[in-house]
């Protein structure tokens, strides 16, 4: 009966895990938001399923073996029923959590990052019950029902009187040896073989119960010095007995020790003085003039990719209001605005901080100290990502409106459409005493994945359903996304009209900027943002009106606070603060302190990227060619393709302007050295 149970649990686990990964991440093709790994070829798919089968066999075998070991003196049939039922409950609970979290928060959800953002684990649990208490109780009831059903099923399946199957004739020693071999292979794959298959290793570690367990054991077992990094991590800790030396450690300049194991010890003369000065002044408060009483309006637009500013759907402009703001009202169009990381949280906080790290004070504090009335109107709950505290609205906000208090009420996914948010903005401006200068922040949420905010169908006949989103249905996806951007743009037009009605338009510094770009299967399989360092995911729309000083032509959200500070200096004190030559934008993937890759994006289109896990680097340049370069494939613009047309990525992917070449000896390349040294200096200066 033990063999019978093992094979049943193995097949069950392999099947449900494969279905789960495909439904959430579309690893074999289809809709998978925020995932950059796909197995498209036959041998790739077979290899992954075989790897998954090995992990499943190891854990199912160990689970059954553990019950046999600890309960061998009990009645065997009862013991096996408990063994099987508890395993089904464990798998069901794990999969429900992963699926529900992916449905609500997205597939890139990270438990620890999210808990930190909302104020800790207990705060996250409290909010979970406030928002989804009925879902949680329903899940508990469902798992309880599965438990009862599993118990009776296994009572029937493990009946000793049932006829023995073929699996019962397999010698116990062979079965035990197979489980041991699978266990060894699992540990080898997650350790020694990990550098050869980094994507699959990360997928298993982050998206499967057994992969996460093995990764945890390997990390704890090989982290001898307790610095949080094991010998088999990616990147590995090459100094396992020295807790001061490990990947992503702060490299202290001029101390003779290479703490992060990159390029030797950091020296202060390794970077140009202008680069060091720019980093040193990040997040520092400026001496803003009390004489300048302009209103300041900052509008951040969710997921608006750069090319939407000029895009047309069936001949209709997607963003006519922002275009009019530029063409007729004289706003400066900034073509070189980039996100440092393709996530809202980073872009918004960096805008207010003027730094990659929280300096403890923000633009809200700056203008509050100048006697401004501070107001925030957000389509997203400010508590969701900790914006209430990190941006300073909880301590220095005079008027704060979000889905918790907006008069029209929240809509899909706990957010408010821009058209409803504008009702509150217009009412506020109509009643505002303009003799007091205003600092106002507006956040439009509409174009966020899955692009189904409650808006009228202007550029589409109906929005695409989430289950329909694939590379093949990109024309409808494009129309749906563009329709949401169009509604955001109409809200921006209403804001400009409201400012004009109160005679505030010509006495205001107005800044529109998107938080990041958005991939709509432009390369055939990537959907979303924050999962790759590319222009399509980081190039932002930006327009500025009412500035007294030149707007930098190439910048990121980190530079906005400094730009506003300099623009509010007394005119005789205002100087050209932007370094010459124009500095590259420092971009990254992953956490701010432990990224998986970093990049410099130059104003001429060049990009140099370094990956920590593989210690590899690459160079892109749309205007030059390199030895052994690869040309990235992109889909053509389907904005004017019939909305229900289906495309074939294998046919419609054409060579784009992005050409990438591997850098053979990255640590000897000057551009890579400059990139790494800049990152090291930033980490040392802002985290020490």
Position 103 pLDDT exceeds 60: no
Residue of 624 and 397 predicted with greater confidence? 397
Extract the tokens encoding 170. Answer: 């397999």
pLDDT tens, 144-182? 776 677 666 666 666 665 565 556 667 778 888 998 999
Strands 316-317 and 527-528: unpaired
pLDDT tens, 280-311? 999 987 677 777 899 999 999 999 999 999 99
Distances (CA, A) of 369 to 166, 400, 680: 79, 18, 33
Q: Rounded distance, CA 199 to CA 208, Å?
A: 14
Using CB atoms within 10 Å of the CB of residue 79, give its burial: 0 to 12 exposed, 13 to 18 middle, 19+ buried.
buried
Predicted local confidence at residue 524, as pLDDT: 83
Q: What is the set of domains in the chain, with CATH numbers?
A: 2-220 (no CATH), 295-570+582-687 (3.40.720.10)
Predicted local confidence at residue 139, as pLDDT: 61
Q: How confident is the model at residue 67 (pLDDT cuts 50, 70, 90)?
A: confident
> Is residue 288 left, alpha or beta, with left meaning phi > 0 and alpha meaning psi from -120 to 50?
beta
Distances (CA, A) of 308 to 426, 530, 632: 26, 18, 21
Extract the tokens encoding 179. Answer: 């489980």
Position 108 pLDDT exceeds 70: no
pLDDT tens, 347-385? 999 999 999 999 999 999 999 999 999 999 999 999 888
Predicted local confidence at residue 369, as pLDDT: 92
Predicted local confidence at residue 50, as pLDDT: 94
At 153, which helix (H) or strand (E)? helix 121-157
| Three-class DSSP labels, 114-149 | HHHHHCCHHHHHHHHHHHHHHHHHHHHHHHHHHHHH
pLDDT tens, 631-671? 888 887 777 788 999 988 878 888 887 888 999 999 999 99
Q: Which of 175, 179, 173 is nearest to 57 (CA)?
A: 179
Q: Rounded distance, CA 378 to CA 271, Å?
A: 39
Q: How confident is the model at residue 332 (pLDDT cuts 50, 70, 90)?
A: very high
Strands 316-317 and 312-313: antiparallel
Q: Cβ–Cβ contacts within 10 Å for residue 569, how many? A: 18
Q: Mean pLDDT, to the nearest integer, of 129-158?
A: 63
Q: Rounded distance, CA 682 to CA 688, Å?
A: 10
Extract the tokens encoding 139. Answer: 């899940």
Q: Mean pLDDT, to the nearest integer, of 186-215?
A: 89
Q: Rounded distance, CA 205 to CA 190, Å?
A: 8
Rounded to 5 degrees, what are φ and ψ at 619? -130, 135
Predicted local confidence at residue 383, as pLDDT: 86
Q: Which residues pair with 374 in a beta bridge?
A: 439
Q: Rounded distance, CA 640 to CA 114, Å?
A: 39
Extract the tokens encoding 509. Answer: 């510094």
Q: Rounded distance, CA 40 to CA 432, Å?
A: 57
Q: How confident is the model at residue 127 (pLDDT cuts 50, 70, 90)?
A: low
Q: Rounded distance, CA 652 to CA 634, Å?
A: 8
Extract the tokens encoding 11. Answer: 């097949």
Predicted local confidence at residue 120, as pLDDT: 55
Predicted local confidence at residue 431, as pLDDT: 96
Q: Rounded distance, CA 650 to CA 73, Å?
A: 60
- Segments in 304-386 forming alpha helices (H): 320-327, 344-353, 363-369
Q: Which residues pair with 589 in a beta bridge?
A: 597
Residue with tokens 């109409």: 490
Q: Rounded distance, CA 663 to CA 200, Å?
A: 24
Rounded to 5 degrees, what are φ and ψ at 492? -60, -40
Contacts of residue 237, Cβ cutoff 8 Å, sequence gap at least 6: 222, 223, 225, 227, 229, 230, 231, 245, 246, 247
Q: Which residues pair with 611 in a beta bridge?
A: 597, 616
Q: Rounded distance, CA 592 to CA 577, Å?
A: 26
Q: Rounded distance, CA 239 to CA 231, Å?
A: 8
Q: What mean pLDDT value characterizes the chain? A: 86
Q: What 3-state DSSP class applies to 633?
A: strand
Q: What share of the chain is helix, strand, coil (3-state, %, to 5)?
A: 45, 15, 40
Q: What 3-state DSSP class applies to 311?
A: coil
Do 303 and 482 form a contact (C-beta atoms < 8 A)?
no
Q: Which of 199, 378, 352 is nearest to 283 (CA)?
A: 352
At 588, which helix (H) or strand (E)? strand 585-590
Position 605 pLDDT exceeds 70: yes
| Three-class DSSP labels, 23-64 | HHHCCCCCCCCCCCCCCCCHHHHHHHHHHHHHHHHHHHHHHH
Residue with tokens 């301590």: 395
Q: Which of 449, 587, 474 is nearest to 525 (CA)?
A: 474
Q: Rounded distance, CA 334 to CA 20, Å?
A: 43
* DSSP result, 250-267: ---TTSS--TTSSSSS--
Position 136 pLDDT exceeds 70: no
- Segments in 502-611 forming alpha helices (H): 535-538, 560-567
Q: Rounded distance, CA 452 to CA 492, Å?
A: 19
Q: Mean pLDDT, to the nearest integer, of 616-630?
A: 82
Nearest-10 Cα torsion for 88, 91, 92, 97: 160
Q: Cβ–Cβ contacts within 10 Å for residue 516, how many? A: 27
Extract the tokens encoding 373. Answer: 């009335």
Do 58 and 183 form a contact (C-beta atoms < 8 A)?
yes
Q: Helices 344-353 and 560-567: crossing angle, nearest 10°? A: 30
* DSSP result, 59-104: HHHHHHHHHHHHSTTS-HHHHHHHHHHHHHHHHHHHHHHHHHHHHH
Position 462 pLDDT exceeds 50: yes
Percentage of the chain exceeding pLDDT 90: 50
Extract the tokens encoding 559. Answer: 């530079």
Q: Which stretches of 259-388 are assigned E, i.e. beta strand?
A: 295-301, 312-313, 316-317, 332-333, 336-338, 373-378
């Amino acid at each position: 009966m033990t063999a019978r149970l093992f094979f049943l649990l193995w097949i069950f686990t392999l099947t449900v895990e494969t279905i789960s990964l495909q439904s959430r991440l579309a690893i074999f093709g289809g809709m998978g938001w925020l995932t950059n790994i796909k197995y498209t070829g036959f041998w790739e798919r077979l290899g992954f399923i075989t790897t998954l089968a090995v992990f499943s066999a190891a854990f199912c075998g160990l689970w059954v073996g553990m019950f046999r070991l600890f309960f061998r003196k009990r009645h065997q049939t009862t013991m096996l029923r408990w063994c099987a039922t508890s395993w089904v409950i464990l798998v069901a609970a794990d999969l429900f959590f992963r699926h529900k979290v992916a449905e609500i928060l997205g597939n890139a959800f990270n438990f620890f990052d999210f808990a930190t953002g909302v104020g800790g684990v207990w705060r996250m649990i409290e909010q979970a019950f406030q928002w989804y208490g009925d879902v949680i109780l329903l899940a508990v009831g469902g798992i309880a029902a599965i438990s009862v059903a599993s118990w009776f099923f296994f009572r029937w399946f493990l009946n000793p009187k049932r006829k023995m199957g073929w699996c019962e004739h397999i010698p116990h020693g062979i079965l035990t040896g197979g489980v041991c071999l699978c266990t060894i292979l699992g540990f080898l794959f997650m350790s020694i073989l990990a550098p050869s298959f980094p994507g699959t290793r990360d997928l298993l570690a982050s998206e499967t119960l057994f992969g996460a367990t093995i990764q945890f054991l390997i990390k704890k077992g090989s982290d001898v010095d307790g610095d949080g990094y094991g010998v088999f991590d990616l990147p590995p800790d090459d100094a396992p007995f020295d807790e001061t030396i490990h990947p992503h450690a702060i490299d202290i300049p001029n101390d003779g020790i290479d703490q992060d194991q990159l390029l030797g010890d950091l020296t202060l003369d390794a970077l140009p003085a202008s680069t060091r000065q720019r980093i040193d002044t990040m997040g520092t408060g400026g001496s803003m003039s009390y004489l300048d009483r302009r209103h300041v309006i900052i509008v951040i637009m969710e997921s608006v990719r750069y090319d939407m500013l000029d895009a047309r759907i069936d001949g209709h402009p997607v963003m006519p209001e922002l275009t009019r703001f530029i063409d007729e009202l004289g706003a400066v169009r900034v073509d070189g605005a980039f996100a440092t990381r393709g996530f809202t949280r980073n872009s918004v906080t960096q805008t207010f901080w003027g730094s990659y790290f929280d300096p403890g004070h923000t633009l809200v504090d700056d203008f509050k100290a100048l006697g401004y009335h501070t107001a925030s109107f957000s389509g997203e709950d400010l508590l969701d990502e900790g914006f209430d505290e990190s941006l300073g609205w909880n301590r220095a906000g005079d008027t704060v409106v979000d889905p918790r208090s907006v008069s029209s009420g929240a809509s899909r996914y706990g957010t408010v459409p821009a058209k409803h948010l504008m009702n509150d903005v217009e009412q506020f401006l109509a009643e505002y005493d303009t003799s007091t200068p205003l600092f106002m922040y507006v956040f439009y949420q509409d174009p966020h994945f899955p692009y189904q905010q409650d808006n009228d169908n202007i550029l589409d006949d109906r929005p695409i359903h989430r289950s329909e989103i694939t590379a093949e249905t990109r024309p409808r996806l494009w129309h749906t996304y563009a329709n949401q951007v169009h509604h955001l743009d109409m809200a921006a037009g209403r804001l400009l009209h409201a400012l004009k009605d109160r005679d505030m338009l010509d006495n205001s510094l107005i800044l529109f900027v998107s938080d990041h770009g958005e991939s709509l299967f432009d390369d055939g399989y990537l959907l979303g943002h924050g999962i790759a360092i590319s222009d399509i995911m980081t190039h932002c729309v930006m327009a500025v009106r009412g500035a007294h000083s030149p707007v930098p032509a190439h910048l990121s959200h980190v530079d906005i606070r400094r730009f506003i500070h300099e623009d509010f200096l007394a005119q005789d004190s205002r100087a050209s603060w932007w370094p010459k030559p124009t500095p590259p934008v420092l971009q990254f993937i992953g956490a701010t302190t432990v990224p998986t890759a970093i990049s410099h994006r130059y104003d001429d289109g060049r990009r140099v990227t370094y990956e920590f896990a593989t210690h590899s680097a690459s160079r892109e340049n749309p205007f030059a060619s390199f030895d052994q370069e690869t040309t990235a494939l992109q889909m053509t613009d389907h904005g004017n393709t019939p909305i229900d047309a289906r495309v074939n990525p294998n046919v419609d992917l054409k060579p784009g302007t992005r050409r990438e070449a591997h850098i053979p000896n990255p640590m000897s390349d000057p551009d890579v050295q400059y990139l790494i040294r800049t990152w090291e200096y930033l980490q040392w200066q802002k985290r020490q």
